[in-house]
Amino acid sequence: MKLRRVSVRAAAIVIALGVFSVSSVWAHHSFAAYEPSKQIKLSGVVTEFKWTNPHVYLQIDAQESTGGETKRWLIECASTSILNRAGWRFNLVKTGDKITVIVAPLRNGEPAALLKQMILPDGTKYGNGAAAGSATIQ
């Protein structure tokens, strides 16, 4: 019975993705500029947390988990209401905080990326809403 309920829900989600994954979901803009399959992990310090619409942005001075130089990255998040519904708050992070993010970088090589997951120093993880997709690496 429980399994059935789960599968009904899964079916509904699959249908929803099918119906809504077309351009109209993202009335503000699409996420197509980001690498669809590549994900990287960045760790660093928050230089700005902009709690704005249509999208929230994190700016971090961060280094990739594979090494390399520290760069200033712009991390795109969902809208404020989507993040609130996903458990975020306007004061969840502040300038100077150390954070780790799993992101999909821009295809054109500029230091900007779409957030998939944010990990705070205590290990708490925050997603970025269904349309942004979830982390596929750890």
Partner 1 sequence: MVIRATLVTLLALGAAASTLLAQRTPVVRGINGSWEAYPLRGEGFGSGVPPKTPVAAPQPLPEPPLKQPHLDQWRATQARNAELTRKGLPPPSTGMACIPEGMPGMMQVTFPMEILETPGQITIIQEAFTQVRRIYLDAPPIAPQDAEPRFSGHSTGTWEGDTLVVQTVGVKETVHFRNTPHSMNMRITERMRLLNDEIMQNQVTIDDPEYLTKPWTWTWMYKRWPGYKIQEYVCEDNRYFEDPSLKYQRLRVN
Tell which positions 17-36 bind partner 1, by CB under 8 A: 18-20, 23-36
Stretch that binds partner 1, among 39-47, 60-68, 95-103, 123-131 (CB under 8 A): 123-131
Binding mask 76-105 for partner 1 (x = CB under 8 A): x-xxxxxxxxx-------------------
Closest Cα to residue 74, out of 112, 41, 48? 112
Stretch that binds partner 1, among 7-15, 60-68, 94-102, 116-124 (CB under 8 A): 7-15
Rounded alpha-carbon distances, angstroms, from residue 62 to 15, 59, 135: 38, 9, 18
Rounded alpha-carbon distances, angstroms, from residue 90 to 23, 94, 108: 28, 9, 30
The least CB distance from residue 3 to partner 1, in Å, is 14
Closest Cα to residue 98, out of 122, 81, 116? 122
- The single-letter code of the amino acid at 106 is L
The least CB distance from residue 130 to partner 1, in Å, is 4
Rounded alpha-carbon distances, angstroms, from residue 117 to 54, 75, 109, 137: 19, 11, 20, 10
User: Is residue 40 within the footprint of partner 1 (CB under 8 A)?
Assistant: no
Positions that interact with partner 1 (CB under 8 A) = 5, 8-9, 12-13, 15-16, 18-20, 23-36, 50, 52-55, 57, 72, 74, 76, 78-86, 106-108, 110-112, 127-131, 134
